[in-house]
Homo-oligomer: A and B are copies of this chain.
Amino acid sequence: MKKIIITLLALSAALSLSAQMREDFKPATTNQPGHQYPMVNSQRMVRAQISAPNAKSVKLDIGGVKYEMVKNSDGVWTGDSAPQDEGFHYYQLEIDGASVPDPGSLYYYGASRWGSGIDVPAADQDFYTLKNVPQGKVAEVYYYSSVTGSMRHCYIYTPAEYEQNPKKKYPVLYLQHGGGEDEHGWPQQGRTGIIMDNLIAAGKAVPFIIVMDNGSETYGPNNPRPERPAGGRPQGGAPQGGQRPQAGRGGNPFAGMDFVSAFQKILEQDLIPMVEANYRVYNDCQHRAMAGLSMGGMQTHSIALANPKLFSWIGILSGGVFSKEEVDATPGFRENNKLIFISFGSRELENRIGGAADPRPITEELGKTGMNTVFYVSPDTAHEWQSWRRALYNFAQKLFK
């Protein structure tokens, strides 16, 4: 009798779920060529599928939750997530305890690993959709760093008109990723080149160059990597899913603050000089911006205060604020600064951790002292890429004007 009741309850729950779930799943735009799965429906639920005929358990691991998948008679497992926020999410599959990338998706670097990502359609996705407008380029560039004593790797966006104007000089934005991410974040999941080409084609942003470097990996023969604590990184262990890159995660970068000052030195001694020697750019702080998300925002904040003559335009995306007190305590900062842009996802503001101070009044207070401040909130998103795509879209329209 008890068994029948449980069965009826389960059946009722299943019916209720299927009544609520819209069966309008479509392949994600972030799938590998020719792959149907993963899919997303109009409720922003993610459906994954994989052939694993001999597995006992397969789970879809997304947004910090592991969803059980179900096997059919062909050995193919299928499972659905709860609705996700609009925009980009890291995820993975768990097969009999092994956390692995989904063979159906394209791969992205975040949560300290190359792994699966999925783009959930958004009402405002037009601004980061590839269109037939004049196209800039995102170039992969290696350069030698005297600070690290090694070759480093970055991406540099140049606007479409750059090649057509052989005498024109351009301003430059140095744009940083978050913790557990690297220089691939902004060009790939951030869709930086596409956002900029669309903005420039619409006349909404002035053309500028964007340099995207690795702000976590600052080690080399001239700046040795700190020893890991014994047994620090589990061997063969994939990172846990659903981890969003967040300040404070990732071990090494926060072992000390050394990687921030190392990256400042790399900027001052290697990266900015390389860019200014190889591109037609202005070489004064009035034509230089720095911005970053999360950990990259904290780096931007530190570097802007440590050397206020480096960048006149500053963006902090889900990475803190500038207070009036900090600005007042930093000689030269106020005179050189043209813009302080602060942004968050709305869910970050709703769920401030441990009673953290509300960044909006802090920013407004700074604005009242005559600084040019902008406070932008991305609707219905959290500490995730959709917040940062939207922040870039808004920030870029204010820059160098």
Pick the residue among B97, B106, B107, B187 that contacts A55 (CB under 8 A): B97
> Per a CB cutoff under 8 Å, which of B33, B57, B234 touches A51?
B234
Q: Is the CB of A55 within 8 A of B96?
A: yes
Say yes or no for A151: interface residue by CB 8 A criterion. Answer: yes
Q: How many residues of A contact B (CB 8 A)?
A: 62
Asked whether any CB of chain B lies closer than 8 Å to the CB of A201, the reply is no
Find out whether the CB atom of A100 lies under 8 angstroms from the CB atom of B101.
yes
**A144 surroundings in chain B (CB, below 8 A):** 132
Residues of A88-139 contacting chain B, CB below 8 A: 93, 95-101, 103-104, 106-107, 112-115, 130-132, 135, 137-139
Q: Which of A9-17, A235-243, A287-295, A355-363 has 4 or more CB atoms under 8 Å from chain B?
A: A235-243
B112 touches A97 (CB 8 A): no
Bound-state Cα–Cα, A144 to B197, Å: 14
Residues of B contacting A50 with CB < 8 Å?
Answer: 98, 100, 236, 238
Does B139 lie within 8 Å of A137, measured CB to CB?
yes
Q: Is the CB of B33 within 8 A of A182?
A: yes
CB closest chain-B residue, reference A234 = B51
Say whether B95 contacts A52, CB under 8 Å.
Answer: yes
The reply to whether B96 and A37 form a contact with Cβ atoms under 8 Å apart is no
Say if the beta carbon of A166 comes within 8 Å of chain B.
yes
User: Once the chains bind, are A51 and B132 in contact (CB under 8 Å)?
Assistant: no
Q: Give Cα A279 to B77, complex, Å.
A: 49
Contact with B along A235-258 (1 / 0, CB 8 A): 111100000000000000000000
* B138→A32 contact, CB < 8 A: no
Closest B-chain residue to A140, C-beta based?
Answer: B138
**Bound CA–CA A279/B158 (angstroms):** 14
A132 and B143 CA atoms in complex are apart in Å by 8
- On chain B, the residues within 8 Å of A77 by CB distance are 236
Q: A145-171: which residues lie under 8 A (CB-CB) from chain B?
A: 151, 156, 163, 166
Which of B57, B96, B103, B107 interacts with A99 by CB under 8 Å?
A: B103
Q: Which 7 A-B pairs have the closest CB atoms?
A: A52-B98, A139-B139, A54-B97, A55-B96, A54-B96, A53-B97, A137-B139
